[in-house]
Amino acid sequence: MGGDEFLITFALSKGRILDDTRPLLRAAGVDVTEDPESSRKLILATERADVRVVLVRASDVPTYVQYGGADIGISGKDTLMETDTTGLYEPLDLKIATCRLMVAVPDDTDYEALVQRGRRLRVATKYIDTARAHFAKKGVHVDLIKLYGSMELAPLVGLADAIVDVVSSGATLKANKLKAVEKIADISARLIVNQAALKTKREALMPIIESFAKSVSK
């Protein structure tokens, strides 16, 4: 594959982040040339012959960029907080896909009283390390239960007293008779770059990063 060393691989995940990212890709001249939601392809061409997009799970984006499977990518801060980010450079807060990482409990739970009581809390989440650090700082003892999705279900069936999850409008919590009681962090999508690629492919990468920076500051 001649010329492969000039190819920039951009890792993205379908859904929210991709929707919010496409205007930025367009402004940088590297938008995908087919509809990512309807295509079954995992590698998509962009408007530039030397740039391609790979579609991976949101939680896999940092891994692809870290190990050089992609040179650049976009990942939620929630995912980055849960990941070992060695070898990743995080140059830009894109201020898209914004939400909050929250503790939530059933509507009828008195969270303060529950915490005061000092009993161990059962907390279901996919953000195990972030949740552990949060409750340790508060001095609250927790048993953490790892889930991969639909965290809202856990308190409804008695699997957990509380959940830690990302919340934007709160509609999903409300629909499941839960309420957010504590903010752990404000979340937004971040541009991430492979540190080695930033050196070896600097000339190709910098204009893309700079275009993204310009879009954000508008």
List residues near ligand ATP by CB under 6 A.
Answer: 13, 15-17, 57-59, 76, 78-79, 97, 99, 149, 166, 168, 187
- Taking Cα atoms as reference points, which of 148, 182, 144 lies closest to residue 161? 144
Q: Tell me the closest approach of the beta carbon of residue 55 to ligand ATP, in angstroms.
A: 11
Nearer to ligand ATP, 114 or 153 (CB): 153
Nearer to ligand ATP, 63 or 140 (CB): 63
Q: What are the backbone angles phi and psi of residue 163, rounded to the nearest 5°?
A: -130, 160
Q: Tell me the closest approach of the beta carbon of residue 118 to ligand ATP, in angstroms.
A: 32
Q: Tell me the closest approach of the beta carbon of residue 168 to ligand ATP, in angstroms.
A: 3
Nearer to ligand ATP, 15 or 23 (CB): 15
- Taking Cα atoms as reference points, which of 114, 136, 132 lies closest to residue 123? 132
When CB distances to ligand ATP are compared, the closest residue is: 76
Alpha carbon distances (Å) from 124 to 87, 129, 142, 181: 30, 12, 10, 15
Nearer to ligand ATP, 37 or 143 (CB): 37
Contact 189, 77 (CB under 8 A): yes
Contact 164, 127 (CB under 8 A): yes
Identify the helix (H) or strand (E) that includes residue 102.
Answer: strand 99-106
Q: Tell me the closest approach of the beta carbon of residue 95 to ligand ATP, in angstroms.
A: 12
Q: Is 186 left (phi over 0), alpha (psi -120 to 50) or beta?
A: beta
Nearer to ligand ATP, 16 or 48 (CB): 16
Contact 111, 90 (CB under 8 A): no
Nearer to ligand ATP, 168 or 200 (CB): 168
- Concatenated DSSP letters for 124-163? EES-HHHHHHHHHHHT--EEEEE-SS-TTHHHHTTS-SEE
Q: Tell me the closest approach of the beta carbon of residue 150 to ligand ATP, in angstroms.
A: 10
102 forms beta bridges with 165, 183
Q: Tell me the closest approach of the beta carbon of residue 57 to ligand ATP, in angstroms.
A: 4
